[in-house]
Structure 1
């Protein structure tokens, strides 16, 4: 059946596309590197016979012991990195590998998808699946979540509530702390290559207030650096990782770069839902869990004591690595609760001082079992080595200085007041936002794009909810709102605009990607 479109209707479609800035893309399925052939055949496809598997690829997994998706992906990835498989080598079909290993085709497909996500292999439609170009020759394409969250802009907005950053005016005085530090004779630290990677005085203070007894402490260059190094050290291609849904976008970008697979665990006001985590453990065999114990970004949720017990019971026999990112330490009002209090042998707790003491300090501390942190520390010695002990001394000075401590306490109180004031103003306009901790609010809206357009028209820049969402079909749309820098004169006007934006409906049919 043929459908003939009137020329004026075609022109109207193009005008609508240009108006909402949605590029028309026509991409054949076989050109996408992460899409693999669903129904592969060998004998009936002429293209397949033109490109038979190479000799190196034909028996590439005959001696494989670990025949899980993760084991298969890791083994193929190792052969590619070692040069045993070269760029352009054609791989056997999914069915051939499954027959060779005596596993299901679904198991091999999962491994192939993980490899394709990293660019290690490339599907070329009916021609087959081939080893990709070396990483050094491959043009890197941004994963996109973090870039979508913070796109380049010339800041033509009256107010920016998209950034998720603290108010610089509420940070402790770094200049005063520097004077105190230098007066205490810390300048000689700059001369040393050798010595403790963590200042002993800082380590002693941190151990006294850690949520569980850590075997090892490591100071790293921010919380995201700590998460990156932990995942790199302990994950393999194809591993399943339980993540909060919604989730901090860089975590998802990191997992994509590593070829790991995020498994969404929905979040309520008490943290990750136990039922969702139980499914992730039982059905997906997650090898790691990433969570934010308080002031979760973007929802503001914090773990309760009961929720800690429920999650720990589910994870007790799983053997999964637990990574906790306490990114709002210092300015969060909720008490700190950690799964490390019940599972200390598998939990690495990360405490960041960026939001409380200054982002440019680039200081975060990871504490947990030596078996998990020692590989990170050993590998780091071959790169940056350690985080500047001058910066560690500066942080220690602020942690001991009464004026700096008072500034952090005042900031915590002020952030809570601003967020509460915005919630109350929104409630007057009929918009309910779940109570949370920290500097962000998770605003429910009828349609993300329509809400963003409505706010932009009012001179307001907000963060879209899409980059935070793990599932492809979330229950509802949201925006993330940062209340950290709001003045009292902004709140009523902003709440009115947010309430209107939350009801905005699209004037065109939107397809969620």
Structure 2
């Protein structure tokens, strides 16, 4: 009798892919002949001890290869044409997908995406974006309903739509204290595209770079795909220690520094004023460029937004990245980079090879919104809403998990970074939480040791936050028993 096979939860290969590979092997060995009925998704999920959504993905993979076929009312069967007397060969797309140089997302991130796709009712503390009711929907609709600023709908300047870059010159001066020109601005589809262009065009495989620890950058496989060597700068409650950069340079000859100094993702910390000056001095002394990602500054709740490094960069060390994703709408897919013109031209040329430039329609809307009288009131409303949600989340954690979690109170941003006091396994806690109807981002996604959690409070509805933390508490108690 065949021993019941179980997927390996410690493997880096996704569970659904392990199941698909096992079934493909069993079919090829004749255990399931052509035309034979396979177990239902629910039954196979019970046998293997996984969620039904995982089996759904495994079956989808096999259908894409032509190995199985599903018909309404008759279940899922092994394909007769694939394995019959006259076989028809479908490319093994799985092998192609496993190849190539660009790595897939981390397993935890794929699991989070899979769970949210299968069950949209999950209370979502994982997605790092604004809820729909925090976006300026009415303001955008009003702008669209007014006399339209209809742009030319052909390929545009590879640096980005001119009127948007003009609007950004004013916006950056007024809101971020950055003095720049249109020729020094590159429009991108968001911060991640900016980072991708930098890693692909300004660095080479084998180059060493410094990133914060923990860091959002650690969750981006694009760094590994580019062949970069990552070295960590520990983050405490006052940000990174600039002298650590000097040490990394001596040991590893780092070539670039990636930093998120204001309401850092995931910790929510702000780089201390004296450390900012030291950081710029060290970078200037060593001739190192700093990539400053600044998506959260304008969410500062009850204080003036912290100034970016770029605003006091007197020697041109800083490449500055911003976007509308965290302060307006991620769906616009509008971001920007401020850099020397030679760098902008190099990256614009590369981006043009990828997509011939971004759509001018959202760029036009973004430019009009930034220049409108709606922008400042929207920021005030956004800050008040985020502050309310942050306080609601902290109150719920103190009520449900007093003594079991520690956290630094963020003064801006979208995230609360928590340390779970008892020893806990990230994977078990995530799965237990999903079963309870809530989802979060494990700290190990950002390079931390097991036992840290990032709760994003911008996505969940305010009325769901207490219930979500109550469910998380149940999952935590069940995991540590």
Q: Considering the TM-score relative to the shorter chain, is it more than 0.5?
A: yes
Q: Deviations over 1:429-462 (max 9, x none)?
A: 2232111231111121232234324423422212
What displacement does 1:196 show?
7.6
Q: Deviations over 1:481-513 (max 9, x none)?
A: 111144454344444444565566568xxxxxx
Q: Deviations over 1:315-362 (max 9, x none)?
A: 222222211111225434462333321354121111110122211211
Is this contact kept in 1: 2:298–2:305, CA < 8 A?
A: no
Aligned counterpart, 2:321: 350
What displacement does 1:24 show?
11
1:189 corresponds to which of 146, 152, 155? 152
Aligned residues: 379
Aligned counterpart, 1:451: 429
Is this contact kept in 1: 2:169–2:179, CA < 8 A?
A: no
Determine whether 1:214 maps to 2:195. no
Which structure's relative contact order is higher, taking Cα pairs within 8 Å and 6+ residues apart?
2
Q: Report SS of the residue matched to 1:350.
A: strand
1:256 corresponds to which of 224, 238, 242? 224
1:399 corresponds to which of 370, 374, 377? 370
Q: Report SS of the residue matched to 1:316.
A: helix
What displacement does 1:411 show?
1.6
What displacement does 1:379 show?
2.8
Determine whether 1:321 maps to 2:289. yes
Is this contact kept in 2: 1:161–1:482, CA < 8 A?
A: yes
Is this contact kept in 2: 1:199–1:393, CA < 8 A?
A: no
Q: Name stretches of at least 5 consecutive residues in structure 1 with no aligned partner.
A: 1-10, 26-135, 508-513
Is this contact kept in 2: 1:442–1:479, CA < 8 A?
A: yes
Determine whether 1:463 maps to 2:434. no
Distance in 1 (CA, whole Å) between partners of 2:467 and 2:145 is 46
Distance in 2 (CA, whole Å) between partners of 1:442 and 1:194 is 40
Matches within 5 A, 1:77-476: 139-140=99-100, 143-151=103-111, 152-153=114-115, 154-155=118-119, 158-173=122-137, 176-181=139-144, 183-190=146-153, 193=156, 197-200=160-163, 201-209=166-174, 210-214=176-180, 216-249=184-217, 252-333=220-301, 335-340=305-310, 341-342=312-313, 344-428=315-399, 429-430=402-403, 431-436=405-410, 437-445=412-420, 446-447=423-424, 448-469=426-447, 474=449
Q: Deviations over 1:135-162 (max 9, x none)?
A: x998237635445324223127642211
Aligned counterpart, 1:53: none
Shift in alpha-carbon separation, 1:183–1:425, aligned structure 2, 3 A: closer
What displacement does 1:422 show?
1.4
Shift in alpha-carbon separation, 1:22–1:252, aligned structure 2, 3 A: closer
Shift in alpha-carbon separation, 1:272–1:504, aligned structure 2, 3 A: farther
Shift in alpha-carbon separation, 1:408–1:368, aligned structure 2, 3 A: same
RMSD (Å) for aligned C-alpha atoms: 3.3
Is this contact kept in 1: 2:283–2:317, CA < 8 A?
A: no
Shift in alpha-carbon separation, 1:388–1:500, aligned structure 2, 3 A: same
What displacement does 1:250 show?
6.5
TM (norm. structure 2) is: 0.70
Q: Report SS of the residue matched to 1:360.
A: helix
Of 338-347 and 237-246, deviating more is 338-347
Is this contact kept in 2: 1:331–1:408, CA < 8 A?
A: yes
Q: Deviations over 1:464-488 (max 9, x none)?
A: 2222107xxx3x5212211114445
Shift in alpha-carbon separation, 1:337–1:145, aligned structure 2, 3 A: farther
What displacement does 1:226 show?
1.0
What displacement does 1:186 show?
1.4
Distance in 2 (CA, whole Å) between partners of 1:332 and 1:282 is 36
Of 195-204 and 345-354, deviating more is 195-204
Distance in 2 (CA, whole Å) between partners of 1:463 and 1:148 is 8
Distance in 2 (CA, whole Å) between partners of 1:432 and 1:403 is 38
Aligned counterpart, 1:106: none
Q: Name stretches of at least 5 consecutive residues in structure 2 with no aligned partner.
A: 14-95
Is this contact kept in 2: 1:172–1:357, CA < 8 A?
A: yes
Distance in 1 (CA, whole Å) between partners of 2:159 and 2:9 is 54
Aligned counterpart, 2:458: 484
Distance in 1 (CA, whole Å) between partners of 2:12 and 2:454 is 28
Distance in 2 (CA, whole Å) between partners of 1:346 and 1:214 is 14
Shift in alpha-carbon separation, 1:440–1:351, aligned structure 2, 3 A: same
Shift in alpha-carbon separation, 1:397–1:169, aligned structure 2, 3 A: same
Of 436-445 and 230-239, deviating more is 436-445
Is this contact kept in 2: 1:320–1:346, CA < 8 A?
A: yes
Shift in alpha-carbon separation, 1:191–1:268, aligned structure 2, 3 A: same
Is this contact kept in 2: 1:329–1:353, CA < 8 A?
A: no
What displacement does 1:191 show?
5.3
TM (norm. structure 1) is: 0.66
